[in-house]
Structure 1
């Protein structure tokens, strides 16, 4: 099932007035203020591209250079992830990484019952306001917390979707997914620095493979330093993943 979520949810209601863009390859991100350049803001938000909505965890200059830390996912990639979820009406969905709230609203527009976890309290509150403005406040529950822990008070779920990359798939996602459920998550780890993993859950075990490319910002608790990121330069599209209590096994098909 996949209703027309693009027409059902206005992305503009979820994007802040100040977004961030690159003025050119190798140059630092710069802010774009809707009040000063409304035409360019509208163009970027109406595109299929990702939109950077936060830098430096909301503390500009935190690391010296400007780094993106939250964004609205590219629409074409949202479609691929929704297709991989294989949703049916009234399914319960755990979303890891609320961000702007737009992805959660799209899931709700397709008939899902959504619980979304956001580690950044400021982003969570802004997402709640946007969901209310767009008419989805009663269809999406936003929880402030560490997404790696899931939302145990709302489990179990039919589906789990992550909008932040993991190099280790947290086992609580598996525990909180029903037998026959599915996890769709971006993976940045051993053998691949940008894969879309689809894992099917059965009896406390999740098994699946990389089905596509997906480049996302990492879970905040799984950020890597520069040396660690450089070690992920290998890209293998044929990964198989198995998650069991205390173990993540990555093999090649």
Structure 2
């Protein structure tokens, strides 16, 4: 495979991008991945239309080539599909597929530690660029990629073939893996998971690696790198990187006033001295620890609610919508907050207990946590697999 003939503007863009990637990495990018970046160009896989900014404004290559090229080669994710490919209704746009930031792409490839001739299963084909990079190192015949969206799968397959890569592209449910090609030496997901699909364990050989972005309903954050043993169990650590779109089969679509809170609910009132923004604010380590302990609890802020004496409210709810809590700040006090709770579970009490545990153990970040996955369950741990993290729910 030879390096394609590139316009001067694209050569400069790739060189600048690789510089940004190397600045972001803990160690220099391995030479084979640099060669892959030059040979398997990102522009060959990004669709003609992308969506920019918080408002997801369409940007077409034909109409705005410079803006399109900047979006392709900036070290950031670029949205490539909205609303699962459907036409937006009522102006409601939301990202449903994207090309990940190149720095996290290459960080994950480094963590995956792929060698030539190793068999790799990728979950979440997206544009196909990541599969193309894998094929450059492992060999096209050794890479299989699974994409749940048939249109995305078809487009990625065409892009890979046009680039001379015979990667097998499967349109199907990535949670099921692809048993026909097993066993694999490596399995990598480019969508986040809230639970590791059990078929992955049986399709990766003993000693093989599973690498997946992690999400809990509390926070989308972290990479999980598991090693599979010969008993069908996988165990490994988290690292503090990434935020990926959730695997479509694990999505939830809940809203507080539509699905959770009802007019006839009569919540119990209490107070707390734990500031709500300590568990649902800028402290990512705290939020990650909350998510590992409160595996089925999510939150949302409601600023300036139409409630007398309340400047801001933190809502909590279970993913089955049976229990909820609200924590109110009056805009003045910094020592005490009003708590409302309804349902079988006292969610704010669970949050306080989880935060106390985290603080008692020296406020650990994601890199101190790990997860052991078996056919029947998942056990989070701190520092070593023997130190289990308490969970609720």
How high is the TM-score relative to the length of structure 2?
A: 0.60
Specify whether residues 62 and 97 from structure 1 end up closer, same or farther in structure 2 by C-alpha distance, changes over 3 A only: farther
Q: Does 1:60 align with 2:87?
A: yes
For 1:105-135, what per-residue CA distance to the aligned partner results, in whole angstroms no more than 9, with x for missing partners? 0001112421000000000000011001111
Unaligned runs of 5+ in 1: none
Specify whether residues 62 and 242 from structure 1 end up closer, same or farther in structure 2 by C-alpha distance, changes over 3 A only: farther
Cα pair 1:95 1:104 within 8 Å, conserved:
yes
Q: CA separation in 2, counterparts of 1:78 and 1:148?
A: 20
Q: Which structure 2 residues correspond to residues 194-233 of structure 1 after superposition, within 5 A? A: 194-203=221-230, 204-226=232-254, 229-230=298-299
After TM superposition, give the deviation of residue 81 of structure 1 in Å. 0.3
Aligned residue for 1:14?
45
Aligned residue for 1:39?
66
Unaligned runs of 5+ in 2: 1-29, 256-296, 300-315, 318-350, 356-363, 384-393
Aligned residue for 2:146?
117
Q: Which structure 2 residues correspond to residues 1-253 of structure 1 after superposition, within 5 A? A: 3=32, 4-22=35-53, 27-61=54-88, 65-112=92-139, 113-136=142-165, 138=166, 140-189=167-216, 192-203=219-230, 204-226=232-254, 229-230=298-299, 236-237=365-366, 238-253=368-383
Cα pair 1:239 1:252 within 8 Å, conserved:
yes
Segment of structure 1 superposing worse, 48-57 or 233-242 = 233-242
Aligned residue for 2:387?
none
After TM superposition, give the deviation of residue 226 of structure 1 in Å. 4.7
Specify whether residues 64 and 172 from structure 1 end up closer, same or farther in structure 2 by C-alpha distance, changes over 3 A only: farther
Q: CA separation in 2, counterparts of 1:108 and 1:229?
A: 38
Cα pair 2:240 2:365 within 8 Å, conserved:
no
Higher strand share: 1
For 1:138-173, what per-residue CA distance to the aligned partner results, in whole angstroms no more than 9, with x for missing partners? 2x1000110000001111100000000000011111
Q: CA separation in 2, counterparts of 1:248 and 1:92?
A: 26
- Bigger Rg, structure 1 or 2: 2
Higher helix share: 2
After TM superposition, give the deviation of residue 28 of structure 1 in Å. 2.1
Segment of structure 1 superposing worse, 124-133 or 242-251 = 242-251
After TM superposition, give the deviation of residue 193 of structure 1 in Å. 2.6
Specify whether residues 197 and 63 from structure 1 end up closer, same or farther in structure 2 by C-alpha distance, changes over 3 A only: farther
Q: Secondary structure at the match of 2:195?
A: coil
Segment of structure 1 superposing worse, 182-191 or 30-39 = 182-191
Q: Secondary structure at the match of 1:110?
A: helix
After TM superposition, give the deviation of residue 220 of structure 1 in Å. 0.3
After TM superposition, give the deviation of residue 246 of structure 1 in Å. 2.1
Q: CA separation in 1, counterparts of 2:108 and 2:204?
A: 17
Specify whether residues 63 and 218 from structure 1 end up closer, same or farther in structure 2 by C-alpha distance, changes over 3 A only: farther
After TM superposition, give the deviation of residue 60 of structure 1 in Å. 2.5
